Amino acid sequence: MRALTLRRLSYAALVAALAQIVFGAIVRISGSGMGCGNHWPKCYGRWFPPFDQPTLVIEWTHRLIAALLLVALAALAAAAFAQRGTPGVGGRGGVLRASLLGLVMWPAQALLGAITVWLGNVWYATVGHWLLAATLLAALAAAVMRAGGLGGGSAVRERGSERAARGTLAGAAIALITILFGGLTATYPGANMSCLGFPLCRGGPGPGLTGQHIQITHRVLALLLVLHVFGLLIGVTRRREASVVVRGLWIAAGLLVAQVVVAATMVEFQLPPAVRSLHQAVGVLIWLTLFSVAYLARLASRDHAMLAAAPATDGAHRPFAPSVEVGR
């Protein structure tokens, strides 16, 4: 019962973090970053202002989700601390450390969000705020997998190679850089409308650091990511790597195909901000999926040998409740 509670709390924190980062994209694209004026954490000096402006409602909701995330993080950290003596919870590789990392990162993210508001929602502060949110999302995904969720319970019982672990890690790194440039495209002045064609820009880029340079870099990175993921998928399937890694790469490949379709439709038909928010939401899911796959590949490649060599009483490095099969 305790295992199930810890896993559910870790999932709740992850869902809250995912909702916050996706809603953050809606805030950026809808131009709601200053919906509460230059006040933080209150809106125009009030916790519950009159909800008479769409931009205010969007920004206030974003802050509400951040508050709910804090509650979820605190509950997860408290539950993990209470079970710190259980193998897989305390110590290196345990749920407790990942949950505490998430809890510590929350005030840093909130402070950067406040700085973003005080600076008038400038692009570099907005991108930094988003990058920290993506890192928090990864920390919570690790907590879920250490608790046996997202395939973590299966990965330690399947054989995987260091080659797969390195390849998936590279994929996660490319995904992070790609969506970072996607956030830069959405926030850098004029970048989001600098390339009106797909997959190539209509017209060449001008001199200097222009919106077209940012757009082209984002698209080249996206192409490299697609090629890398599909190459990985072919390789891990032929080598019969851990099934949880193969399934994760299939999910990532499907998300990448969907992302290309959304991007092409968005650019060619000049669709409204709601669709552009969908583009960023899918990008976040790609990052989350590839990070999780890289983490699972690491578990499958390293923890299998450790489990075989370690005594039965030593489970500090194992995901919580490893007897539960997850992701099958």
Q: Residue 318 falls within a domain, yes or no?
A: no
pLDDT tens track for 273-320? 666 778 888 999 999 999 999 999 999 987 544 444 444 434 444 444
Cα dihedral 269, 19, 188, 282 sign: negative
Residue 41 lies in a domain: yes
Q: How many structural domains are present in the chain?
A: 2
Q: Provide the β-strand partners of residue 46.
A: 43
Q: Is residue 328 part of a domain?
A: no
Amino acid identity at 263 = A
Domain of 133 in residue numbering reads as 1-150
d(CA 183, CA 123): 9
Alpha-carbon span 234 to 246, nearest angstrom = 9
316 found inside a domain: no
pLDDT at site 207: 43
Contact 43, 37 (CB under 8 A): yes
Q: In this model, does residue 243 exceed pLDDT 60? A: yes
Q: For residue range 19-64, what is the model confidence (pLDDT) as tens digits?
A: 988 887 777 777 776 777 777 777 877 788 888 788 788 888 888 8
Q: How far apart are CA 81 and CA 89, in angstroms?
A: 8
Looking at the domain assignment, is residue 314 inside a domain?
A: no
> CA-CA distance, 7 to 217, in Å (whole number)?
39
Residue 319 is given by DSSP the state: P
**Contacts (Cβ under 8 Å, ≥6 apart) of 134:** 21, 176, 179, 180, 284, 287
The CB-side HSE value for 311 (13 A sphere, CA atoms) comes to 2
Which of 49, 41, 21, 85 is closest to 313 using CA atoms? 85
Say if 264 falls within a structural domain. yes
Contact between 304 and 274 (Cβ < 8 Å):
no
